[in-house]
Amino acid sequence: MSGLKRVAVVLVCAVALFAFGGSFVPGEVQKRAIVIGLGLDFDKDTDGGVFVMTAEIVSPGNGGEQVGVFSKVITATGHSVGEAIFRISERTGKEPSLGQCGVLVLGRSLFGTRNFSDVVDYFAYSDSFKETAVICCAENADELFRCEDVLNKSVSLALVATLRETHKNVALPSDTLLEYARSQRELTKTGFLNFVKFVATDNSDPQAPDKENGYFIYDRIAVFRSNEFVAEVGGNEMRGFALLNENVSGDTMSFTHDGKTYALRVNSKKVGKSYVDGGIRLEVKLQVKLARADSADVGGSFAEKSDEQIPEEMLVALKNFVTQYIEVFLAKQVDDNFDITDFHELLRQKQGTSQELCAMPMSALPVALTVSVKEN
């Protein structure tokens, strides 16, 4: 049964309760196309430009071989978001119900167009859409949902689980749709969305998470100001930003000292920011743990830890090591002139909002960085 997967049977109860406020009416579920995940791309080359909407829909089986709850992925196009939703309705023969949608994925093809802002506002301020849905982006939203055939389970539920899980390595917290939309309306705020991609694995590989056919990761971000794409941050820059984010826990990275390789884990961090003498004073205090790379996966299991204290000279080397990542990220902010560290917000609290402040380039805000590293 191509494109059709069985979802956990318990989901039908949850869907019914959410959809109908706890008052289940026999036959009503069959009349609705309950959308649990939505993706949007923009095809500028077709018919003057159309939205490509991809929806994962759950519905109960109708008996026979279809027992339980199933999900399937459907794609439709339209010159507006509303028209694309209507086309989904035509294809399913049911009214789409968006109130249970847990994730909204925006494709790169929307970047740099007015369509991006229109899409965000359409869903963020719609009474029929779940404002607590997580929002992210992808190279192509439709292709991301099409990995269902490999993943062999609900793409939307897997995405939500990935985006809401405890943040490991350099993964950053994901905003809800409403949180992101509000950030784009504040003059001194710059927001970001996690870039998600699917990684197919050999399920016989013992390193594959849960030995599944694949999994989602997000190791870079897209930065937006007033819903306009500003920059992409990844690699070492992304790691530096994660080191400045107190909401990210368990950052883990590989560290080499005196010819030996270690897994370095940041167990806790305190980041202090203040506006002093025309610039930003940035203080980063990290508590870390080391393990030999041959005794701990760099992903962060740390099953076998050394009881030996970290020598002072190694702590100095660690400080220089993490400082480099932070400095690379801060340089990226200056080069591409964006502020996802709220430095402008510190200045606004001191001086109030003004056109001069909003237009102030990052190069006009020198940063004095202090980093300290202790063993935990």
- pLDDT at 343 (0 to 100): 92
Q: Which CATH class is domain 234-376?
A: alpha beta
- pLDDT at 204 (0 to 100): 57
Among residues 123, 126, 92, which one has the least CA distance to residue 106?
A: 123
* Residue 72 near residue 56 (C-beta atoms within 8 A): yes
According to DSSP, the residues that pair with 52 across neighbouring strands are 41, 77
Question: Number of helices and strands (H, E) in the chain?
Answer: 12, 14
pLDDT at 62 over 90: no
- Angle at which helices 235-243 and 312-336 cross, to 10°: 110
**CA 11, 16, 21, 22 torsion: positive or negative?**
negative
**pLDDT tens per residue across span 238-259:** 999 999 998 887 778 888 888 8
pLDDT at 270 over 90: yes
DSSP classification of residue 371: E
SS3 for 183-241, per residue? HCCCCCCCEEEEEEEEEECCCCCCCCHHHCCEEEEEEEEEEEECCEEEEEEEHHHHHHH
Question: Between these two residues, 186 and 300, which has the higher pLDDT value?
Answer: 186
pLDDT at 327 over 90: yes
**CA 229, 136, 297, 147 torsion: positive or negative?**
negative
The dihedrals phi and psi of 169, each to the nearest 5 degrees, come to: 55, -125
**What is the C-alpha to C-alpha distance for residues 40 and 110, in angstroms, rounded to an integer?**
8
Every domain of the chain with CATH number 3.30.300.210 lies at: 234-376
State mean pLDDT over 312-328.
Answer: 94
* Residue 26 near residue 106 (C-beta atoms within 8 A): no
Tell me the residue ranges of DSSP E strands in 260-313.
260-276, 279-292
pLDDT at 345 over 50: yes
Give residue 277's pLDDT band: very low, low, confident or very high (50, 70, 90). confident
* Residue 100 near residue 19 (C-beta atoms within 8 A): yes
The dihedrals phi and psi of 113, each to the nearest 5 degrees, come to: -125, 160
Query: Residue 255 in 3-state DSSP?
Result: strand
Give residue 55's pLDDT band: very low, low, confident or very high (50, 70, 90). very high
- pLDDT at 20 (0 to 100): 35
pLDDT at 18 over 90: no
Say which residues have a Cβ less than 8 Å from residue 351's Cβ, sequence separation at least 6: 357
* Residue 76 near residue 53 (C-beta atoms within 8 A): yes
The mean of the pLDDT values for the chain is 81
Q: What share of the chain in percent tops pLDDT 90? A: 42
* Structure tokens given for 324: 């480099």
Q: Report, in angstroms and rounded to the nearest whole number, the Rg of the chain calculated over CA atoms.
A: 23
* Residue 319 near residue 298 (C-beta atoms within 8 A): no
| Number of CB atoms found within 10 A of residue 145's CB | 25
pTM for this model (two decimals): 0.83
**pLDDT tens per residue across span 217-233:** 888 999 998 899 999 99
pLDDT at 3 over 50: no
